Structure 1
Amino acid sequence: MELTGTTIVITGAASGIGAALARRCADERPANLVLADRDIEGAGAVVRSIEDGVSGQCVAWSLDVGREGANEAFIAEVEANIGPIDLFVANAGIATGASEQGDDATWDAIWDINTMAHVRSARALIPLWLERGGGYLLTTASAAGLLTNLGDAPYSVTKAAAVAFAEWISITYGDRGVKVSCLCPQGVRTPLLFPPGQEGEPAPLAADVVRAMNIIEPEEVAEAVLQGLADERFLILPHEEVGRYAAHKGTDRERWIKGMRKLQASLV
């Protein structure tokens, strides 16, 4: 995909991977760039740092992707007031550190943000893209969606669902002009993994596992994404080892599960 002259929307754009993607996309001279986040001040700061690289509108937008109806209304307003969306980056996400014992409110909240926000956005975008003959959906999932995340059942389940949904959209509409990429990084130095003000404090198991692995910077993820979009590749893996792990899992799931149990036992 060529980003120059396009209208790009990025959710979860106030920090981390979303902010890095915004900065990298701005380098490609898009026509319009919309950065949405619950943290409107953070999104506004990113806008001010990159707006000179955008030929048209570069705006921050207050958006809670987990709220029912919010994604559809947001997309309708962008289409009406900014321009037809060419690339939609469904990047917003949260973690919980919960097990199966997490209450329904915890499961509902992460389900709405990590999975249903993608469904609701696609529900609004797909008819528009089919009518126009094309569009591009970039889903930020996680290596947890291909593997698992020890210590966080809701995160593992919702990210696996996000991967499955991205696959379904690609299979169903790929021959009709709708392109899909699914981003599955492992450890990235973001506020999700390293919350501000919590340096030196004991980390939940889920974060502790990832922190012990190969941590890369958000800018490295953004660069991998731009290459993946240029190649129009479905699976974008900034950590190449994730592909190998997923292959091992698919070849011998029994052995993989035993290995994950052994890893967990060494950490608790």
Structure 2
Amino acid sequence: MNLTGRVVVITGGAGGIGAALARRFAAEGAEALVLADLDVDAARAVAAGIGPAASAVGLDVTDEEQVRALVADTERRYGRIDVFCANAGVTTGGGVEVDDAGWDRAWRVNVLSHVYAARAVLPAMVERGSGYLLHTCSAAGVLTAVGDAAYTATKHAAVGFAEWLSITYRDQGIRVSALCPQGVDTPMLADGLAAGHLGAQVIAASGAVLTADQVADVTVAGMAEERFLILPHPEVADYARRRAEDPDGWQSGLRKLVRRLRAGASPRPH
């Protein structure tokens, strides 16, 4: 995928990875960037920093009617959507004790929002015979988010859905990538650390934290090669292999890491 001249929609575009993707896509020569976020003022600030190619809209990704309206409005304004980045995501920082509302919110933001986006954009993309879906899924979708059960479960579902889309629609001209970073210096990580979430502590202590701009650079390279799995942290591929080859050993290693962290020791990268 060459991003020059492309019309791109990015959810969760007000900050973090979404904002970094917008800046990087603009540098690649995207024709138009639509940044959608609950925090429309922050999205407008990002768009203003990019220039006239970018605009911002308010969006609740868990409301399918809002997603459909965003897609329809963008198609009316620009004639098409070439790339849809389903990037919004939430964490809970907890396990089975997280209440139903927390689990439901994680499911709706981390999974159903991807479904809503695909439903809205696929008909026109299939008719044209081209289009690109970029789903931010997290390394938690191929590994485990220690300390966050809902995030782990929903990100696994997100990767599974992205894979299903790729298998089902690639022969119709649709490309799909699952972006699966591990630790990224974003407000999500900062908020998790401030709240004392175990998973955020593991990521921060591992030393494997990238900037959002670094993630965006790797994403553009991955999209240029139309790779399904885009792994800004290449070690995630090694972890995934180890997990598949020896699931018991993998889980044992993670349990040891958690014990060290809870004891106050500095965990070694896993």
- Answer yes or no: same fold by TM over 0.5: yes
Give the counterpart of 1:92 among 65, 85, 88. Answer: 88
Question: Which runs of structure 2 are paired with 1:252-263 in the superposition (5 Å)?
Answer: 252-263=246-257
User: How many Å apart are 1:202 and its aligned residue?
Assistant: 6.0
Query: Structure 1: 5+ residue runs without aligned partners?
Result: none
CA distance in 1, matches of 2:110, 2:39: 17
Retained in 1: the 8 A contact 2:94–2:197?
no
Partner of 2:202: 209
Please tell me whether residue 163 in structure 1 is matched to residue 159 in structure 2.
Answer: yes
Partner of 2:186: 190
Give the counterpart of 2:245 among 246, 251, 254. Answer: 251
Percent of aligned pairs with the same residue? 51
Give the counterpart of 1:60 among 52, 56, 61. Answer: 56
Q: SS of 1:261's equivalent?
A: helix
RMSD (Å) for aligned C-alpha atoms: 1.4
Q: SS of 2:181's equivalent?
A: coil
Partner letter of residue 181 of structure 1?
S
Question: Which runs of structure 2 are paired with 1:85-124 in the superposition (5 Å)?
Answer: 85-124=81-120
User: How many Å apart are 1:174 and its aligned residue?
Assistant: 0.8
Q: SS of 2:178's equivalent?
A: strand
CA distance in 2, matches of 1:110, 1:158: 7
Q: SS of 2:175's equivalent?
A: strand
Partner letter of residue 75 of structure 1?
V
Runs of at least 4 residues of structure 1 off by over 6 A?
none
Query: Structure 2: 5+ residue runs without aligned partners?
Result: 263-270
State how many pairs are aligned: 261
TM-score, normalised relative to structure 1 = 0.94
Partner of 2:127: 131
Q: SS of 1:239's equivalent?
A: coil
CA distance in 2, matches of 1:64, 1:133: 28
CA distance in 2, matches of 1:194, 1:102: 20
